[in-house]
Every structure is written in C-alpha cells, then in structure tokens.
Amino acid sequence: MVSSATNFSRSGLSDWLIQRVSAVVLGLYFLVLSWVFFSSPDLEFAEWSQLFDGLSMKIATSLALLALCAHSWIGMWTVATDYLTRSHFGKHGTGLRLGFLCLCVFMIFVYLVWGFQIVWSI
C-alpha cells in the first residue's frame, strides 16, 4: 500500500474534489482570457499589460496559478503511485517514486514562486 506521507491531502475524496475545483478554476480563467483575446482583435502589448496590472486580474491569475499547482501535484502523485511501483521497477520502484515526487514538489514550488514574482512584479 502506498503511504500517504507524500500525499498533501487527507483522502481520495479530497484529492478528487481539489482536482475538480482546480479544473473549474482553470477553465473559467481560460474562458475569460479567451474572451478578452477574441473580443479585441487588435490587442497590443499595452492593453495586455494594462489588463494584467489590475488587482482583480492579479488575484485571478494567482488563483489560477494555485489551482494549476494543486492540479499538477495530484496528477503527478497519481501517476507516480500508479506506475512507479515495485511491481514495475523491482526493488528500485520505491526510491524512484520518492525521487520523482521530490522533483515534482521542487518544480511545482519553483513554478509557483516564479509565477507569483511575474504576476506581482516582486
């Protein structure tokens, strides 16, 4: 059985819920950006910059970034626990899975910090 030590959520139900809610947040964010893009055919850098300088867009982008990170973590954790196992990789399966998950946590954290720096111009 896979230990929940590398799982940031409490149960499969909360994983499922976070995955669905984060997908809805990302979908809504994509729809808003698509609407802005297609409703302004002559969109220039100045308009994009003005759009993303607004507090509401910074908050929306930050929420989308958090949703993307949560969605990514659950997806990568699921892939790792399903396919990076002892039955597939023998005695190296557990170490491989742990290393992969540590790399995922590190990369997701880097992308989150980097994204916040870009959005909030820190």
Q: Which pLDDT belongs to residue 5?
A: 47
> What gap in Å lies between CA 85 and CA 106, rounded to an integer?
21
For all residues of the chain together, what is the average pLDDT? 91
How is the chain split into domains, by residue range?
A: 10-120
* Model confidence pLDDT, tens digit, residues 41-99: 899 999 999 999 999 999 999 999 999 999 999 999 999 999 999 999 999 999 999 99
Rg (CA), the chain: 18
CATH code of the domain occupying 10-120: 1.20.1300.10
Kindly report whether the global pTM for this prediction surpasses the value 0.75: yes
Tokens 């910059």 sit on residue: 49
> What gap in Å lies between CA 5 and CA 94, rounded to an integer?
13
